[in-house]
């Protein structure tokens, strides 16, 4: 049995669910997590958690609120030295065989200060550690986002990137790309084809979408805005993992922002995706861009979507499904094999 210290960015469900999935795939090892926000959900799963501050991404009007996000980050980073010292103390006490970070800021800094290697598992580093021709859109967002990823979150010594679109790493010695990590609850469902379309809003601010959906002929099941009365062809549901996965597994297709985890889970169920990435969130834009490039769906950056976009998307559903059907979107076993190899070959300290 190995001890694994695992830093997790806790401002979104995706990072936390991926970390939990990795731990569940390696039940013979002892995990301890570092993070804030939703990382504390892991305590309910029986794992110890060291609480540290986190630099959350804040949204307004379906955009990243750059000023509020930067101000929050400054507050977090100003106290960074004390936090790093706390994590260093945990490293000495817990004495992990492996240190991992999923986009958590302090864990790799503490590992480096202790002379320990740290492995990154996330999707964000596909922006900075892989080779691709950058799209011409969202240049300012790319500059800000890639700069943040490179200079704030790239202190690990190795990068295991999970992605539904495979890109070549810039440095194959330190970077590998895997298919997505799919959580256990998702893999327990079997895909089906009902008549509804699933709509998931990462940030409940894209209100201009719904008048367009009301004009369409489909029935839309909406998550992310909370439970409220149904309106015409829109059914609003409260957050519920089991209900959401049932609706995801059985829908015709998915409308969502550009979050990697939701897109990956939709593709796992062989569902085409129409993406409206949140403005100023370059990772979401790139996910949407490659979703369209791979023929798994389409995207729009229009502030006000149109009914014609929806109709055009629906006319291509069969082509999208054919392209999705050619691929596998599960990298769990490969990620676990890579981690087990790192544990087996870790230097004896």
Q: pLDDT tens-digit profile of 248-296?
A: 999 999 999 999 999 999 999 999 999 999 888 899 999 999 999 999 9
How many structural domains compose the chain?
2
Which residues on neighbouring strands pair with residue 234, listed in sequence order? 220, 231
Per-residue confidence (pLDDT) for residue 78, from 0 to 100: 64
In a domain, 108, yes or no: yes
In a domain, 349, yes or no: no
Segments of the chain scoring below 70 in pLDDT? 54-79, 203-205, 347-349
In a domain, 312, yes or no: yes
Co-location of 56 and 126 in the same domain: yes
Per-residue confidence (pLDDT) for residue 304, from 0 to 100: 84
Co-location of 82 and 224 in the same domain: no
pLDDT tens readout for residues 288-342: 999 999 999 999 998 888 999 999 999 999 999 999 999 999 999 999 999 999 9
Co-location of 66 and 23 in the same domain: yes
Per-residue confidence (pLDDT) for residue 189, from 0 to 100: 96
Structural domain range at position 204: 185-325
Co-location of 170 and 232 in the same domain: no
Co-location of 262 and 302 in the same domain: yes
Per-residue confidence (pLDDT) for residue 337, from 0 to 100: 98
For the entire predicted model, the pTM comes to 0.91
């Amino acid at each position: 049995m190995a001890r694994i210290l695992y830093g997790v960015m806790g401002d979104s469900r995706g990072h936390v669910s991926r970390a939990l999935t990795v731990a569940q795939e390696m039940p013979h090892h002892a995990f301890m997590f570092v993070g804030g926000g939703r990382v504390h959900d892991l305590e309910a799963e029986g794992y110890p958690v060291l609480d540290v501050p986190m630099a959350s991404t804040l949204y307004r009007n379906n955009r990243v609120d750059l000023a509020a996000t930067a101000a929050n980050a400054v507050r977090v980073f100003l106290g960074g030295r004390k936090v790093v010292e706390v994590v260093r103390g945990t490293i000495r006490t817990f004495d992990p065989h492996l240190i991992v970070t999923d986009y958590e800021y302090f864990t790799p800094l503490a590992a480096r200060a202790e002379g320990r290697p740290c492995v990154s598992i996330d999707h964000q580093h596909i922006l900075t550690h892989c080779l691709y021709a950058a799209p011409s859109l969202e240049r300012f967002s790319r500059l800000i986002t890639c700069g943040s990823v490179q200079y704030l979150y790239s202190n690990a010594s190795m990068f295991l990137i999970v992605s539904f679109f495979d890109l070549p790493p810039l440095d194959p010695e330190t970077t590998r790309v895997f298919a997505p990590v799919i959580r256990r609850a998702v893999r327990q469902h079997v895909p089906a084809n009902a008549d509804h379309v699933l709509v998931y809003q990462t940030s409940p601010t894209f209100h201009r979408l719904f008048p367009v959906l009301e004009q369409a002929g489909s029935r839309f099941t909406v998550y992310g805005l909370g439970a409220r009365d149904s309106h015409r062809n829109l059914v609003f549901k409260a957050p519920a993992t089991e209900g959401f996965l049932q609706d995801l597994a059985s829908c015709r297709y998915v409308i969502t922002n550009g979050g990697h985890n939701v897109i990956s889970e939709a593709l796992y169920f062989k569902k085409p995706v129409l993406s409206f990435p949140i403005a100023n969130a370059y990772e979401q834009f790139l996910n949407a861009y490659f979703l369209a490039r791979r023929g798994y769906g389409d995207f729009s950056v229009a502030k006000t979507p149109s009914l014609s976009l929806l109709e055009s998307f629906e006319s291509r559903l069969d082509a999208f499904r054919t392209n999705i059907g050619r691929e596998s979107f599960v990298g769990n076993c490969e990620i676990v094999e890579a981690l087990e190899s790192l544990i087996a070959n870790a230097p004896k300290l």
